Structure 1
């Protein structure tokens, strides 16, 4: 199976947003390790220094068979996204797999106390940025195969998009929007060979909670206390698995939980 996946991915150009840490970073390494020959990776995020370090590490580990292009990009900036494709080097312009991973959560406030800035940044990143990037990449995918289209659009959602919870109203709403957009897009593209894929993680330990609590590491650690959360590598494996299927196979909708989780709010925590 691993050999078949590698062959199917060879020659492809993979674009990953939010690639500087967490799921995005792990996904870059997973693609590279699965197909270490004839693969191109475009890694975007705001933190260019981290992207450049990841590019160096991938090249050191796997050699010259993988070309990595790190690009500084703020997905919430519509103008940056609109001009993104035109600025790509010629050999990277034809994106075969778009992984819309960039996203964040801010705060646990409830209405009417939700800060406007938090509302705006969550929607601009999680929803508008994802849609704008999809619209930037989709035209070239539609032109392939004499107009039949080709390519994968993989949107990283969340259990929060399926099951809203207290203190997560805006984040949950943003991920519900991603889910609706993904399902609409799949239906709109049904006459093409473009695959639209959703991967929805449950509890994953990343910088997610640190950002939610505005950098408070103690509060972030408390989220995972007594739990064995999923790792970014777990999610990356599912993403690459979906992209590595035979062209006619669409892993349309995937929900991933750690063993201790049954829903957005039902989790078993071990006590010491």
Structure 2
């Protein structure tokens, strides 16, 4: 049976404000087939009052719910259909939905694509975009068996069933997707499966978000041996230099502003990144998961 006849579900997790979702809803519901169902998983308790598109369905969750748990709850909402995850801070392009549907019908389990920078203004926006999405900003390698981003992924209904059976936890999407790939799930990174970053982030908030995210990742990777965690935390002293070199190599063909304008911001982001990982290895996740947007 085709995707068109079965329908398709889109999960958008609202962690910022309803205004960040309006453009995505317009693209998905006003120009897409009527079989598309959009679910907003809302931990801000603001979406029902925001007069969003009446076709959008809303699932309210407690404010402390983590982003990975919100995505899992949204995935459980749908029954036996393909499900797409979309960040509330990105807007899909015109070819996004057709590309997702066609690729899923070809049998791929996970389908993703580029994340474009739609922000303009201070150099910090460019630096933050590069730090967060350097693995997904074009030009990038496309094709089978490539990694995909949790804010821009289509999930085949056969994989949806597997995800729905998982316990509710805070495991990040890249760890989940890595396990799925190792279990034999076929992945595809398609150049037309493109979203555009739209939500601007203030300089202090961007640093806090980087710290929370880095801490949460390290907490999920920490070991049971305290001495080993201490060693891993100490090794984060080398991370700023390694990250700066990695970002320079990964983004030298992707910049829209001169590198020297971004250097100070990338250096500061790298320091915060390293600090977050060190704290995560030493003390665990704390309240970081509920603060990540």
Shorter-normalised TM range: 0.3 to 0.5
TM-score (norm 1): 0.39
- For normalisation by structure 2, the TM-score amounts to 0.36
